[in-house]
């Protein structure tokens, strides 16, 4: 192994090791820089979470708006990635052994590559930690859901309750007429004597078949109004009004569900883009930090932190 000695203009002697071919990557500085970057990331994100909770409020017209909070959160996450990975890259670049036998372009490339390695290792480790945390939350949620299902199954009344929009519409349709008019139906009528479960099936099928139409099919509307009239004792005209109202409420509930799903999709899409952008900015910051650290290493630059020339 050859040792090359170079003298800087200020007569300071710099000793650099001419490493043999193949040893282009020094994992010690990379690992240290990655650990430093992840530690800073955790600390700053915890601080940001506390800061975010202090400026938002569940009360209406209090605290910052949801859109403003999202913008501030995105900016803060980007700044955190820049600070954390720039620090990690700086440590990796400054602690890497200088190679004075290489050209300046090659040295700059290798310094930047060490910063990129810090970012890559940090992203991989962060993804592993995030997946393990998500798996733990999923396991806990499954256990809670299983406990809730067991509790519901132990109570038959609760276990049989359904909150589907179509079931709610059936309840509204088959509700007795005001003033007890439902008792005026003929005793031998099939719809009047049929159980709710027998009537729920054709009503649900009719509503489901027409849910994507602007209004009920005329035949389905007449059939449903007839069932409601026979079951509740309402007149045909009143039964048709009830059918129209129930169908309108069902379409409103379905549209609200679609809007909520679309909003969640857009929110997830924006969050994914912001996460990718923040990580890309972190990669650039790590490479720039490694290049700066290498230049300070070669120039023997003293960096003062909080007024002290020491690292701490």
Average model confidence (pLDDT) across the chain: 75
Owner of token pair 């008792």: 183
Tokens of 94: 């400054």
CA distance 239 to 164: 22
Place 146 in a pLDDT band, splitting at 50, 70 and 90. Answer: low
The pLDDT of residue 38 is 92
Report in angstroms the alpha-carbon separations of 48 from 76, 79, 276, 277: 7, 11, 19, 18
pLDDT of residue 188: 44
CA–CA separation, 166 and 172 (whole Å): 10
Share of the chain above pLDDT 70, in %: 65
| Residue 182 confidence class, pLDDT cut points 50, 70, 90 | very low
Helix (H, G, I), strand (E, B) or coil at 2: strand
What residue segments make up the domains of the chain, in order of their start?
2-152+275-299, 165-256
Within 13 Å of residue 277, how many CA atoms lie on the same side as its CB? 12
What token pair was written down for 243?
Answer: 């059918």
- What is the number of residues in the chain? 312
16 pairs with which residues across the strands? 4
The answer on pLDDT for 307 being more than 80 is no
What is the Cα–Cα distance from 90 to 292, expressed in whole angstroms?
6
pLDDT, one tens digit per residue, over 213-272 is 888 888 878 888 888 888 778 888 888 888 888 888 888 888 888 898 898 888 888 888
The DSSP H or E segment spanning 16 is strand 13-18
Give me the pLDDT at residue 22, please.
Answer: 45
Q: Give the CA-trace dihedral at 73, 78, 80, 86, to 10 degrees.
A: 180
Q: Decide if pLDDT at 30 tops 90.
A: yes
**pTM, to two decimals:** 0.62
């Amino acid at each position: 192994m050859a040792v090359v000695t170079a003298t800087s203009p200020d007569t300071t002697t710099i000793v650099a090791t001419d490493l043999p071919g193949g040893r282009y990557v020094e994992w010690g500085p990379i690992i240290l820089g990655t650990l430093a970057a992840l530690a800073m990331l955790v600390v700053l994100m915890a601080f940001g979470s506390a800061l975010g909770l202090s400026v938002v409020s569940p009360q209406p017209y209090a605290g910052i708006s949801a859109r403003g909070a999202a913008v501030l959160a995105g900016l803060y996450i980007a700044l955190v990635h820049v600070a954390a990975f720039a620090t990690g890259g700086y440590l990796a670049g400054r602690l890497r052994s200088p190679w004075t036998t290489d050209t300046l372009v090659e040295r700059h490339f290798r310094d930047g590559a060490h910063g990129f390695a810090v970012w890559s290792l940090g992203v991989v480790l962060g993804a592993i930690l995030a997946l393990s945390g998500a798996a733990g939350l999923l396991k806990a949620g499954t256990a809670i859901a299983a406990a809730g299902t067991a509790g519901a199954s132990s109570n038959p009344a609760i276990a049989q309750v359904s909150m589907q929009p179509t079931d709610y519409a059936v309840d509204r349709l088959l509700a007795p007429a005001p003033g007890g008019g439902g008792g005026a139906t003929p005793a031998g009528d099939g719809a009047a004597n049929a159980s709710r479960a027998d009537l729920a099936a054709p009503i649900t099928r009719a509503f489901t078949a027409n849910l994507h139409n602007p209004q009920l099919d005329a035949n389905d509307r007449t059939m449903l109004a007839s069932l409601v009239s026979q079951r509740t004792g309402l007149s045909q005209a009143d039964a048709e009004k009830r059918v129209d109202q129930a169908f309108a409420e069902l379409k409103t509930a379905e549209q609200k569900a679609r809007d909520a799903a679309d909003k969640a999709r857009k929110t997830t899409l924006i969050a994914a883009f912001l996460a990718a952008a923040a990580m890309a900015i972190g990669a650039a910051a790590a490479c720039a930090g490694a290049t700066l650290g290498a230049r300070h290493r070669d120039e023997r630059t003293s960096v003062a932190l909080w007024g002290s020339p020491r690292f701490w």
